[in-house]
Structure 1
Amino acid sequence: MDNATIWEWVGYAASVLVAISLMMTDIKKLRWWNTAGCALFSAYGVAISAYPVALLNGFIVLVNLYYLWRIYRFEQSD
């Protein structure tokens, strides 16, 4: 399997993870699944030199992590 084919499958996996995330009713699960999908999309974007894809998905990873941090932080203070 050549390198291009491997990265194509990474892109498919990222799509599946983002799609799964959108089916979640629990916001924590949604953000975790979405973070995984966006991290894969970010790696995929870098690998195929699609930098707008990589940057946008990297930004979404950071946003998800920020909100996950807030969720877990406020859970502990209850």
Structure 2
Amino acid sequence: MEFLGISLTEWIGYLSSFFIAISFFMKNIIKLRIINTLGCILFVIYGILIKSWPVIIANGIIVFVNFYYLVIDRRPERLKEDEVKP
């Protein structure tokens, strides 16, 4: 399946790159991790489609790290510091 001469697989790759890039502009660390996680999940899907283990493994690890800080590590002092300091 193609759209504008670009395969669905490539669109997923471009979309994942877009979300990763956008996440770097976030000041709020929670928003950053959510957008970055979405991009990494799309990269895992992209890696599966192109059968690339390095892409799957690297982005899978990042998804788990983001998940850890978003869901598991919910210390009160970390919730107050939700903005990245320059």
Map 1:21-36 onto structure 2 (within 5 A). Answer: 21-36=23-38
Q: Which residue of 1 aligns with 2:75?
A: 74
What's 1:13 paired with? 15
User: TM-score under structure 2 normalisation?
Assistant: 0.79
Aligned-partner Cα distance in 1 for 2:27–2:68: 19
Which residue pairs with 1:65 in the alignment? Answer: 67
TM-score normalized by the length of structure 1: 0.86
For residues 29-72 of structure 1, what are the alpha-carbon distances to aligned partners after superposition, in whole Å with 9 as ceiling and x for unaligned? 000000000000011001101111011001100000001121xx
Question: Is the helix fraction higher in 1 or 2?
Answer: 1
Structure 1: runs of 5+ lacking an equivalent: none
Q: In proportion to residue count, which structure has more strand?
A: 2
RMSD (Å), alpha carbons: 1.6
User: Structure 2: how far apart are the matches of 1:5 and 1:58?
Assistant: 23
